[in-house]
């Protein structure tokens, strides 16, 4: 039985993953910029690999209010769920940032669901596609879905989670139209998927290290 | 139209009510169903094998191409919505209308060998419906929002502005687009306070009319009243703040407040002024209740009357008023009509017993009198002097008249005496008639001086306790003779009417005077009624009449004569006013009555009607002591003395001294004399046999009183009889002779002298 402790990413692996993710979000930023027609900055300063409950605790501790998430399922060598999570109260700013200033509040409220879905879609797609691309593996990713609730809700989506699931927890900063919005990207994977990821990361590091050496 | 690689599914794809495009790995169209062919007006045969850029030239395909790449390269699925990507492909409905569509882009096929499925859905109907609904709602909403005078802000949970109306644009001087998304707290001067209000509202508290303020670009501050309430839109909470500009209202309130404050100041100033006037005024100020109880007085009372506030406040105003002026004050306090009283002249009693004239103004207000008294002592003194000089003038005028009468009387006396002298020289007898005539003339002259003295109230009174009823009855015979046979006398006398304290001879005089007047008023005859009765005078009546309350004896003298006209009545008590012919009366009768009654502490009143008659009422204070026996009969008998009774006559006027000695010798007394007190004392030291000292009161040097005191000290058993024609001297107090002092009034008849000397020697 493989436990999360056994699967803790080596520092090098973590650095590699962080680099991968930052490449991914910069691609997402480029895509968003194309969509909204203005500068969007995205960065991922930190990555944690945590247990499911730990992820719930982190969210509960850091976020007092309700959360909104864009959810997509990915399948392939690595299987799991990807969630882009925001404090719900910041979501309108995000929507306004991407939808433009000409919308009334009522429009913004109406747009929120779709705009969040598209925005989250772009960010998550970019991340997943970039990771898959760089790891030279293919994934199939579902259409986005907006869900609201708490960390507990997000990490207990049906079908019921399997024991030993881990969460790759990414802290992500958006800067859109002078607004800094801090959110999270959570990639919920089962153990085998994490093992595959770790393997893929090692291959990636070897490739890069190989060229260095 | 069919794509070769999708032969079997082509009918199905064409039957779908959505657009289907499949792109191969090279991004070329491999499937293009009937729906998209219709909507894009590009037939399948034309589309197949072409790229999207070729099929939709000029369209903003960026997001689609990104999504296609993600799908083909990473197996990612994407969704493009018409809200964020309106008219991506420029499709048309069958009717030629713009076709609003959403696009989903997914990888199909095996992992690593993907094709890309682009599915296009028609959302035109749903979008239109929503748009109509929203438009309608927005129209109503905008009508409210935009017509509101208040600035309206809609905030999300972070306090960021999600909506603002035009009034907010004006208020904050920021356009709506720039307001959107801004943290609202930074718009307000007290940002923290605003955030607290917002938080309170979010937690469900109703925020109503809280004050906040906004700084304008021009530096001015606008004061706002904020009302904030929360609401939820879908899954989200919002708060909407209504901001009413109350700057103008506040500034009016401020102005009003300032006005009120300055009003207070002005009132305080005015009050201060009045307080100052109250304190510095030389006039006496007093506030009293309607019962004239002093409530507060100003310092002038202390300054001018020597009375401290504490001595006056709480006391009756009349306590500080001369007894003779109390009546007017009492009238005021008893009066029901609270009217302004002007120029009420009152003598105020100073702490040292002096009386000072003040002219008072009383102003009723709020159950109080506000009174001010002005010192008019100077004026009153001048008035007194004027009256005195008028009196002197009157006396001067009178002197002429009296001199005439007096000369006549003296003429009778002198010529009578001359004749007697001649006859006696010739050794003739028969002088009795002449003597009688001369004596009568002298009596008349004496009467005249008596009356003058009585008028000037300088007549010395020797009050005794008198039973008035009895006296009236005793006098009835005398009165009948005076009245004559045409006038009937009625006396109505109660036995228990009580005694009065009065000089009997004066009271007799009064009654005779009144009887004579009555007789003169009834030349055709009539009835004179003299009635006595008891009378109890209460406080208010006493005040009205200027006398003390208590029991009185009333003597009413009523005739059925011609009566008096109002003008005559008004002047009846005036001295020298007479309706009688020249020589018939002196005009002193009623004024003499008036003087006597006043001097006796009584009251006199005339009630008269022309053609009906006159009633004169005299009120004299009742005396509780026992009445002194009946008045001695006016005897013609002369009480003689004895030679062993030695009388010392002290008189500075030689002729009077001589005459007095002769009369006493005539009465068989032994007489010695002295010119003054000093000589008198020397004689008394030499001779121990002097029984009686008969001394004038007014003498140069040692006066009669001093001399008598010294004499009695030398000879305690010495009897003293004073003689005087003038009351204002040492033996008299307030016009009343001390009860222990015996006084013989000048000029005295032989009988009066004999009686008085006998009385003193025998007592």
Q: Rounded to whole angstroms, how far apart are CA atoms B307 and B321?
A: 13
pLDDT at A5 over 90: no
Residues 110-149 of B with CB under 8 A from A: 111-112, 114, 130, 134, 137-138, 141
Taking the Cβ of residue B84 and every Cβ of chain A, the question of whether any pair is shorter than 8 Å is answered with yes
pLDDT for B736-755, tens place per residue? 566 667 888 777 778 888 88
Burial of residue B187 (CB within 10 Å: 0-12, 13-18, 19+) is buried
Q: Is A20 on the interface with B (CB under 8 A)?
A: no
Dig out the tokens for A24 from the structure.
């991914």
* Nearest-CB residue to A140 (from B84, B107, B154): B107
Q: Which of A142-156, B380-394, B451-465, B572-586 has the highest mean pLDDT?
A: A142-156
Encoded tokens for B519: 């007789």
Rounded distance between C-alpha atoms, residue B565 and residue B608, angstroms: 8
The residue in chain B having the minimum alpha-carbon distance to the alpha carbon of residue A36 is B84
Output the pLDDT for position B180. Answer: 82
Predicted confidence (pLDDT) per residue in B324-376, tens digit:
888 888 877 777 767 788 888 888 998 888 888 898 988 888 888 899 998 88
Measured CA to CA, the distance from residue B147 to residue B153 in angstroms comes to 14
Residue A151 has pLDDT above 90, yes or no: no
Sheet holding B743-745, edge to edge: B670-674, B646-650, B690-696, B719-724, B743-745
Residue A48 has a CB neighbour count (10 Å cut-off) of: 16
Interchain proximity B235–A88, CB inside 8 Å? yes
Region A49-53: mean pLDDT is: 85
Phi then psi dihedrals of residue A44, to 5 deg: -125, 100
Q: In this complex, do B84 and A90 lie within 8 Å of one another by their Cβ atoms? A: no
Instruction: Provide the phi-psi class of B159: left if phi over 0, else alpha when psi is between -120 and 50, else beta.
Output: left
Give me Rg for the CA atoms of chain B: 64
Pairwise CB contact (< 8 Å): A138 & B154: no
Cβ–Cβ below 8 Å for A35 and B163: no
Q: Do B84 and A179 make contact, defined as CB atoms within 8 angstroms?
A: no
Q: Which of B70, B160, B236 sits opposite A129 (nearest CB)?
A: B70
Beta carbons within 8 Å of A139's beta carbon, 6+ residues apart: A74, A75, A76, A77, A78, A128, A129, A132, B74, B75, B76, B111
* Beta pairing, strands B29-32 & B19-23: antiparallel
B371 near A CB under 8 A? no
CA nearest to B240 within chain A: A105
B388 HSE (CA, 13 A, CB side)? 6
Segment 135-174 of chain A within 8 Å of chain B by CB: 138-144, 148
**Which of A88, A98, A111 is facing B236, going by the closest CB pair?**
A88
Closest CA–CA distance from residue A178 to any residue of chain B (Å): 10
Instruction: Using CB atoms within 10 Å of the CB of residue B511, give its burial: 0 to 12 exposed, 13 to 18 middle, 19+ buried.
Output: buried
Find the CB nearest B79 among A89, A118, A138: A118
Which of B68, B70, B105, B107 has the highest number of chain A CBs within 10 A, making it the mutation to test binding with A? B70
CB B552, CB B602: distance < 8 Å: yes
CA-CA distance, B549 to B541, in Å (whole number)?
A: 8
Least confident span in B35-39, B233-237, B709-713: B233-237
Distance from CA of A163 to the nearest CA of B (A): 27
Contacts of residue B753, defined as CB under 8 A and 6 or more positions apart, other chains included, come to: B660, B663, B664, B667, B744
Mean per-residue pLDDT of chain B: 82
Residues B595, A175: Cα–Cα separation, whole Å: 122
pLDDT of residue B588: 56
> How confident is the model over A193-211, as a mean pLDDT?
80
Q: A30 to chain B: nearest residue by CA?
A: B66
Contacts of A89 in chain B (CB under 8 A): 156-158, 236
Q: Which single residue is written with the structure tokens 């999270």?
A: A184
B202 touches chain A (CB under 8 A): no
Choose the closest CB to A105 out of B84, B104, B162. B162
What distance in Å separates the CA atoms of residue B634 and residue B508, rounded to the nearest whole number? 12
- Mean pLDDT across A98-113: 74
Contact B715, B690 (CB under 8 A): yes
Within 8 A by CB and 6+ apart from B407, the residues are none
Distance separating alpha carbons of residues B105 and B81, to the nearest angstrom: 11
Contact B104 A143 (CB under 8 A): yes
Is the minimum CB–CB distance between B735 and chain A shorter than 8 Å? no
**CA distance to partner chain B, nearest, from residue A3 (Å):** 29
Cα B141 to Cα B87: distance, rounded to the nearest angstrom: 28
Partners of B62 on chain A (C-beta within 8 Å) are 34-35
CB contacts under 8 A, A 55-94 vs B, are: 65-66, 68, 72, 76, 88-93
| Distance, CA of B498 to CA of B626 (rounded, Å) | 9
Q: How far apart are CA B371 and CA B360, in angstroms?
A: 7
CA distance A82 to chain B (A): 12
Backbone angles phi, psi at A20, to 5 degrees: -55, -45
pLDDT of residue B649: 92
Rounded CA-CA distance B563/B561 in Å is 6
CA distance between the termini of chain A: 35
Put simply, the answer to whether A104 touches B76 (Cβ < 8 Å) is no
Structure confidence at residue B2 (pLDDT):
40
**Structure token pair of residue A102:** 């000409």
Q: Do A92 and B63 touch (CB under 8 A)?
A: no
Cα(B349)–Cα(B322) distance, rounded to whole angstroms? 6
- Please report, for residues B181, B183, B188, B193, the alpha-carbon distance to residue B224 in angstroms, rounded to integers and kept in the order given: 22, 18, 10, 13
Overall residue count recorded for chain B in this entry = 763
Q: Which residues of B touch A143 (CB under 8 A)?
A: 77-79, 104, 106
Q: How high is the pLDDT of residue B33? A: 92
ipTM of the complex: 0.80
Instruction: Name the β-bridge partners of B674.
Output: B650
Q: What is the pLDDT of residues B369-427, one digit of tens each?
A: 899 998 887 777 777 676 666 666 656 655 665 666 677 778 778 888 888 888 888 88
Confidence of residue B576 (pLDDT cuts 50, 70, 90): low
Q: How confident is the model at residue B46 (pLDDT cuts 50, 70, 90)?
A: very high
Note whether A136 and A29 are within 8 A (CB).
no
Q: Return d(Cα B718, Cα B742) in angstroms, integer.
A: 13
Residues B636-694: tens digit of each pLDDT: 456 778 888 899 999 888 878 888 888 888 888 999 999 988 999 999 888 888 989 99
Cα dihedral B351/B352/B356/B359 (nearest 10): 0
B266, pLDDT greater than 50: yes
B529/B614 Cα distance (integer angstroms): 11
**How does DSSP classify residue B61?**
-
Chain A interface includes B25 (CB < 8 A): no
Report cis status (omega within 30 of 0) of the bond before A159: yes
Q: pLDDT tens-digit profile of B2-19?
A: 444 555 678 888 888 999
Please indicate if any CB of chain B lies within 8 Å of the CB of A101: yes
Cβ atoms of B645 and B669 closer than 8 Å: yes
Is the Cβ of A128 closer than 8 Å to some Cβ of chain B?
yes
pLDDT score recorded for residue B635: 43
Taking CB atoms and an 8 Å cutoff, what residues of chain B touch A142? 77
Q: Which residue of A has its CA nearest to B102?
A: A114
Strand partners, B154: B163, B240
**What pLDDT does residue B688 have?**
84
Q: Where are the alpha helices (DSSP H) in B644-749?
A: 654-666, 677-686, 704-714
> What pLDDT is attached to residue B632?
42
Determine whether the interchain pair B75/A148 forms a contact, defined as Cβ–Cβ distance below 8 Å.
Answer: no
Average pLDDT of span A102-122: 79
Least confident of B266-275, B440-449, B631-640: B631-640
Look at B465 and B200; give whichever has higher pLDDT: B200
A184 three-state secondary structure: strand
Mean pLDDT across B562-587: 64
Do residues B401 and B584 touch, judged by C-beta distance below 8 A?
no
Compare CB distances from A111 to B78, B83, B236 and report the shortest one's residue: B83
Q: What is the pLDDT of residues B595-619, one digit of tens each?
A: 778 778 888 888 888 888 889 899 9
pLDDT digits (tens, 9 = 90+) for B70-88: 888 888 888 888 877 877 8
- β-pair type (B719-724, B690-696): parallel
Question: What is the chain A residue with the closest CA to B177?
Answer: A101
Question: Which residue on chain B is closest to A77 by alpha carbon?
Answer: B111
**CA pair distance B114, B108, nearest whole angstrom:** 5
Q: What is the spatial distance between Cα B234 and Cα A111, in angstroms, rounded to a whole number?
A: 12
Q: How far is A171 from chain B (nearest CA, A)?
A: 21
Residues in chain A with CB shorter than 8 Å from the CB of B84 are 35, 98-99, 111, 114-115, 118
Interface test with A, best of B140, B156, B183, B198 (most A CBs within 10 A): B156
pLDDT at A2 exceeding the cut of 80: no
Which residues have a Cβ under 8 Å from the Cβ of B556 and sit 6 or more positions away? B529, B530, B531, B532, B533, B615, B616, B617, B618
| B30: pLDDT strictly greater than 60 | yes
Chain B residues whose beta carbon lies within 8 Å of the beta carbon of residue A72: 77
Return the exposure string of B550-578: e unless at least 16 CB atoms fall within 10 Å of the residue's CB, then b: eebbbbbbbbbbbbbeeeebeebbebbeb
Are the beta carbons of B158 and A93 separated by less than 8 Å?
Answer: yes
Half-sphere exposure of B583 (CA within 13 A, CB side): 4
Shortest distance between the Cα of B147 and any Cα of chain A, in A, equals: 17
Please tell me the distance in Å from B155's CA to the nearest CA on chain A.
10
User: In this complex, do B81 and A132 lie within 8 Å of one another by their Cβ atoms?
Assistant: no
Per residue in B118-174, pLDDT (tens digit) is: 999 998 888 888 878 878 877 877 788 888 888 999 888 888 888 888 889 888 998
- Note the pLDDT of residue B35: 93
Sequence length of chain A is 213
Q: Does B109 touch chain A (CB under 8 A)?
A: no
CA closest to A100 among chain B residues:
B84
A120 close contact with B: CB closer than 8 A: no
């Amino acid at each position: 039985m493989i436990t999360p402790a056994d699967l803790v990413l080596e520092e090098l692996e973590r650095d590699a993953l962080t680099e991968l993710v930052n490449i991914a979000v910069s691609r997402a930023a480029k895509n968003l910029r194309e969509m909204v027609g203005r500068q969007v900055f995205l960065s991922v300063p930190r990555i944690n690999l945590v247990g499911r409950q730990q992820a719930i605790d982190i969210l509960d501790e850091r976020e007092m209010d309700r959360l909104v998430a864009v959810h997509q399922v990915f399948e392939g060598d690595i299987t799991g769920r990807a969630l882009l999570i925001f404090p719900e109260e910041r979501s309108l700013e995000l929507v306004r940032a991407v939808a433009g200033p000409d919308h009334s509040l009522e429009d913004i409220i109406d747009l929120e669901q779709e705009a969040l879905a598209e925005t989250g879609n772009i960010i998550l797609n970019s991340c997943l596609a970039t990771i898959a691309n760089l790891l030279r593996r293919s994934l199939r990713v579902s259409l986005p879905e907006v869900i609201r609730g708490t960390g507990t809700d997000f990490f207990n989506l049906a079908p019921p989670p399997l024991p030993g699931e881990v969460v790759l927890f990414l802290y992500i900063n958006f800067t859109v139209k002078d607004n800094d919005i801090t959110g999270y990207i959570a990639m919920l994977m089962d153990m085998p998927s994490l093992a595959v990821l770790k393997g893929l990361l090692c291959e990636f590091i070897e490739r890069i290290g190989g060229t260095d050496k | 139209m069919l794509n070769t690689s999708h032969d079997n599914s082509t009918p199905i794809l064409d039957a779908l009510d959505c657009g289907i495009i499949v792109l191969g790995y090279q991004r070329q169209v491999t499937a293009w169903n009937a729906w998209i062919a219709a909507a894009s007006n590009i037939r399948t045969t034309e589309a197949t094998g072409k790229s999207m850029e070729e099929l939709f030239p000029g369209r903003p395909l960026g997001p689609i191409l990104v999504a296609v790449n993600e799908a083909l390269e990473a197996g990612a699925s994407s969704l493009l919505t018409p809200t964020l990507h309106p008219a991506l492909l420029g499709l048309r409905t069958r009717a030629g209308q713009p076709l609003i569509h959403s696009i989903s882009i997914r990888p199909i096929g095996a992992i690593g060998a993907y094709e890309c499925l682009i599915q296009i859905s028609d959302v035109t109907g749903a979008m239109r419906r929503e748009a109509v609904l929203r438009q309608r709602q927005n129209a109503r909403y905008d009508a409210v929002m935009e017509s509101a005078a208040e600035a309206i802000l809609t905030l999300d949970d972070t306090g960021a502005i999600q909506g603002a109306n035009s009034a907010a644009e004006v208020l904050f001087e920021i356009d709506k687009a720039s307001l959107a998304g801004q943290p609202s707290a930074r718009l307000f001067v007290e940002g923290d306070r605003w955030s607290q209000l917002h938080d309170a509202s979010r937690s469900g508290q109703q925020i109503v009319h809280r004050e906040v303020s906004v700084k304008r670009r021009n530096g001015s501050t606008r004061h706002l009243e904020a009302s904030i309430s929360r609401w939820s839109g879908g899954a989200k909470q919002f708060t909407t703040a209504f901001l009413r500009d109350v700057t103008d209202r506040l500034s009016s309130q401020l102005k009003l407040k300032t006005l009120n404050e300055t009003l207070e100041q002005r009132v305080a100033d005015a009050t201060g002024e009045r307080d100052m006037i109250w304190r510095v005024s030389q006039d006496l100020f007093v506030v009293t209740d309607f019962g004239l109880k002093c409530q507060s007085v100003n310092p002038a009372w202390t300054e001018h009357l020597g009375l401290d506030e504490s001595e006056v406040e709480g006391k009756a105003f009349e306590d500080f008023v001369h007894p003779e002026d109390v009546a007017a004050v009492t009238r005021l306090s008893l009066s029901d009509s609270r009217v302004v009283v002007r120029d009420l002249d009152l003598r105020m009693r100073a702490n040292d017993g002096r009386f000072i004239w003040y002219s008072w103004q009383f102003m009723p207000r709020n159950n109080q009198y506000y009174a001010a008294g002005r010192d008019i002592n100077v004026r009153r003194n001048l008035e007194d002097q004027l009256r005195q000089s008028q009196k002197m003038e009157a006396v001067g005028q009178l002197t002429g008249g009296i001199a005439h009468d007096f000369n006549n009387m003296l003429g009778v006396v002198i010529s009578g005496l001359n004749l007697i002298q001649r006859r006696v020289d010739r050794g003739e007898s028969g002088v009795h008639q002449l003597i009688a005539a001369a004596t009568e003339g002298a009596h008349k002259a004496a009467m005249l001086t008596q009356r003058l003295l009585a008028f000037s109230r300088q007549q010395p009174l020797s009050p005794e306790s008198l039973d008035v009823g009895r006296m009236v009855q005793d006098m009835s015979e005398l009165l009948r003779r005076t009245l004559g046979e045409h006038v009937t006398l009625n006396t109505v006398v109660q036995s228990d009417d009580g005694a009065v304290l009065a000089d009997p001879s004066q009271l007799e005089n009064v009654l005779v005077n009144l009887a004579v007047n009555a007789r003169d008023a009834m030349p055709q005859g009539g009835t004179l009624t003299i009635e006595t009765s008891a009378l109890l005078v209460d406080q208010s009546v006493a005040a009205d009449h200027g006398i003390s309350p208590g029991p009185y004896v009333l003597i009413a003298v009523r005739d059925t004569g011609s009566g008096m006209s109002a003008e005559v009545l008004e002047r009846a008590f005036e001295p020298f006013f007479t309706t009688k012919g020249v020589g018939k009366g002196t005009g002193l009768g009623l004024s003499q009555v008036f003087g006597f009654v006043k001097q006796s502490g009584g009251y006199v009143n005339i009630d008269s009607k022309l053609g009906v008659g006159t009633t004169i009422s005299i009120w004299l204070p009742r005396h509780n002591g026992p009445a002194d026996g009946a008045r001695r009969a006016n005897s013609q008998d002369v009480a003689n003395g004895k030679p062993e009774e030695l009388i010392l006559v002290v008189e500075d006027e030689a002729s009077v001294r001589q005459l007095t000695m002769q009369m006493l010798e005539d009465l068989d007394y032994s007489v010695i004399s002295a010119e003054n007190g000093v000589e008198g004392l020397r004689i008394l030291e030499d001779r121990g046999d002097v029984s009686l000292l008969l001394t004038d009161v007014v003498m140069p040097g040692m006066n009669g009183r001093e001399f008598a005191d010294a004499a009695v000290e030398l000879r305690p058993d010495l009897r003293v009889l004073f003689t005087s024609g003038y009351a204002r001297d040492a033996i008299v107090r307030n016009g009343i002779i001390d009860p222990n002092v015996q006084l013989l009034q000048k000029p005295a008849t032989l009988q009066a002298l004999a009686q008085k000397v006998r009385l003193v020697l025998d007592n």
